[in-house]
Structure 1
């Protein structure tokens, strides 16, 4: 058994279970703590591409991921009368091996691949961390306490582990001048295999309907340069905020807004990247969005989670559990990839949420060029998953 084998992972979405898989395979003893009472369902479409496809293959979960693929075929922009004004096929940006899957489906696949030999503890969360000479003392919201050799935050954009042990949220999050929200809506509002988007200056509303699921997601994004004072635990306040921006819009927006804000899984957040000088402090480190969120505009969140989990476990194994060596190598190896993915988002926001009517017109013309000129496709990096 390697040194520092008792590892607590906070978060059971994508990065956490992926890390637990590799740690358990290499002789460590991971424990996964998750605030939700059960594996989380729902969410947006996410992309498995490039290196993350290879990693999923090594894990033996690639067939299950392909079985659960969304089969999104097109991104379509519509006017208020629901007439198509521009669009492109999914293949414009995706390589042949790329896979899009609903976030909840990917989380379920990862949980199923690890549930038999990883200790999962749902319905609890880390309350405090105290680092000692050879361990980390952890107190949980439930009142329990325990000691671990290492702690990993895989708990997303608003990571409690990051706040407790590495840097305050105010110093970690970089607002990109956008907010987004989503919630489940009636499938009749969308066409199977299509993401349909309706723009007005500085705003977009849309429907994401997987051809492989009898559900649809209502999607909203708006330009707002201010950092709004939002309590992310107060759904009623979030819903009121969204209504204030969208309730006067046409197309299907009133119906989508009513249904999305009635969904118990409704979600609203700022579009923010996590940019911090170090992903670790002592015996605590971060993986996935907690450490280096690139935002949904990058289409790379799930891929970075899988790549980061694999690299962190690989470095811990190579260093025989020596966290000082492993954390440095993990960060040095992954940071160039993270930086590239984070830089890719600005063209995506220009395409999805043009700030003016001339900008909307120009976007529509450019999407026609994308179908004719492969070089023009490099201007815009996002995939239909970025709009879900």
Structure 2
């Protein structure tokens, strides 16, 4: 009997973390990624708590620390230009790190390469599961059979759509949108994350590591139309929200031109994913495909923790993956649910919807630990 095989869809954070651990537990993992290569940009995310311990066990913590942003704190900027902070809200402590998402994904993929097959520029087209395995058809590669398939392919998961049902059955938009882009030059304040607010809008300038990034979180229609996935429509949504105000932001003297000309604009709804079960036979979901909503940057930590939990469950009973998948869900769902419940607090702190809410947030921020 040969090594059990696992197809992991998605080379973001959860996918390569799972591949690393499965390889060390005697599996033969394959990672398929729709993109032709790893992204070269990305907003900063946190690796903290249990995820930091996982990174240490993987031997990658020194690389993460070397690539860390090292921005010390978050400062709120009032419309008059007054600064409140910096505070430690959501900032890493101890050995925890904040790191550009693309750098984290790249380091995780490098760690998993020994013993993992990567298929870039491809995606799953069809899944046919039975009691003994899963027959997979790809968009480009020849069909293959795997003992296990894991969808770690994000909020708009293809695996979830194929195995569980259409996206709108499980994904609930929350009336918030997020967009990010690179500014291509250093921040005016290289040591501080600055958040500017207007009612229902936040604009964050992050110094990253010498090339600043801008982040937009704003309230919008709770049920967006299909057109919001069009890049031109995405830019129009951002501009319609933000050009109503003058933003005294040194890094964005021409907000309209910067948004219209951005080649790396990331845009999506902030949504909640809820499923009655994260697995169906030998097909399972991991990371944002199974559950998401994180406004404090800890989605990547949750993805790493979930991946390690799933790999450990499979290692305990390698001959019964169906039982292992249920055990993984029982262990990780409690932690995931606690993060989902924190959504309203995060939204209230980062993007108050009203002028009075913004005033209240600023009063609270003055009391936060510096």
Q: Distance in 1 between matches of 2:155 and 2:265?
A: 17
Counterpart for residue 227 of structure 1: 223
Counterpart for residue 275 of structure 1: 274
After superposition, give the CA deviation of every residue in 1:74-105 in whole Å (9 maximum; x if it has no partner).
21222446x23322333776432321111011
Q: Which of 285, 302, 305 is the equivalent residue of 2:303?
A: 305
Tell me the TM-score normalised to structure 2 length: 0.93
Give the drift of 1:143.
5.6
Q: Is the CA contact (8 Å cut-off) linking 2:173 and 2:269 kept in structure 1?
A: yes
Q: Is the CA contact (8 Å cut-off) linking 2:174 and 2:222 kept in structure 1?
A: no
Q: Distance in 2 between matches of 1:188 and 1:307?
A: 33
Gaps of 5+ in 2: none
Q: Is the CA contact (8 Å cut-off) linking 1:304 and 1:338 kept in structure 2?
A: yes
Counterpart for residue 262 of structure 1: 261
Q: CA RMSD in A?
A: 2.0
Counterpart for residue 331 of structure 1: 329
Q: Distance in 1 between matches of 2:89 and 2:361?
A: 18
Counterpart for residue 87 of structure 1: 85
Give the drift of 1:339.
0.8
Q: Distance in 2 between matches of 1:346 and 1:335?
A: 19
After superposition, give the CA deviation of every residue in 1:182-233 in whole Å (9 maximum; x if it has no partner).
11114345421322122111111221112xx121111111112421114465
Q: Which of 220, 239, 244 is the equivalent residue of 1:243?
A: 239
Counterpart for residue 169 of structure 1: 167
Counterpart for residue 141 of structure 1: 139
Give the drift of 1:264.
2.1
Counterpart for residue 362 of structure 2: 364
Gaps of 5+ in 1: 373-388
Q: Is the CA contact (8 Å cut-off) linking 2:239 and 2:259 kept in structure 1?
A: no
Counterpart for residue 381 of structure 1: none
Q: Distance in 2 between matches of 1:139 and 1:267?
A: 29
Q: Distance in 2 between matches of 1:298 and 1:62?
A: 21
Q: Is the CA contact (8 Å cut-off) linking 1:185 and 1:256 kept in structure 2?
A: no
Q: Is the CA contact (8 Å cut-off) linking 1:184 and 1:260 kept in structure 2?
A: no
Counterpart for residue 191 of structure 2: 193
Q: Is the CA contact (8 Å cut-off) linking 1:190 and 1:208 kept in structure 2?
A: no
Q: Which of 111, 114, 120 is the equivalent residue of 2:112?
A: 114
Tell me the TM-score normalised to structure 1 length: 0.89
Q: Distance in 1 between matches of 2:188 and 2:279?
A: 43
Q: Distance in 2 between matches of 1:150 and 1:233?
A: 31
Counterpart for residue 182 of structure 2: 184
- How many residues are matched? 367
Counterpart for residue 315 of structure 1: 313
